[in-house]
Amino acid sequence: MGHLPKNEGLHIHTERVERWYNRICELDSGEQKGPISLEMSVDEFLVFFIFCYHLMDYIIKETDIPRREIEAFINQTPSLSICADIANGTKHFGIDDKRNPRSGEDFRMREYVTVSGEKVGLGLLITLENGNQMKVIDLAKECIEQWVAFLSSHLPKSL
Number of domains in the chain: 1
Q: Is residue 87 part of a domain?
A: yes
Q: Is residue 46 part of a domain?
A: yes
Q: Give the pLDDT band (50/70/90) at residue 107.
A: low
Q: How many helices (H) and strands (E) does the chain have?
A: 6, 3
Say if residue 117's pLDDT is above 50: yes
Q: Is residue 159 part of a domain?
A: no
Do residues 153 and 4 make contact, with C-beta atoms less than 8 angstroms apart?
no
CA 139-96-17 angle, 5° bins = 30
Q: Is residue 126 part of a domain?
A: no
Q: Is residue 15 part of a domain?
A: yes
For the whole model, what pTM was predicted?
Answer: 0.81
What's the rounded mean pLDDT across residues 114-121?
72
Q: Is residue 125 part of a domain?
A: no
Q: Structural domain of residue 93, as residue ranges? A: 8-104+137-154
Q: Is residue 94 part of a domain?
A: yes
Say if residue 72's pLDDT is above 80: yes
Over residues 35-54, the pLDDT tens digits come to 777 788 888 888 999 999 99
Identify the weakest region by mean pLDDT among 26-30, 91-95, 153-157. Answer: 91-95
Q: Is residue 110 part of a domain?
A: no
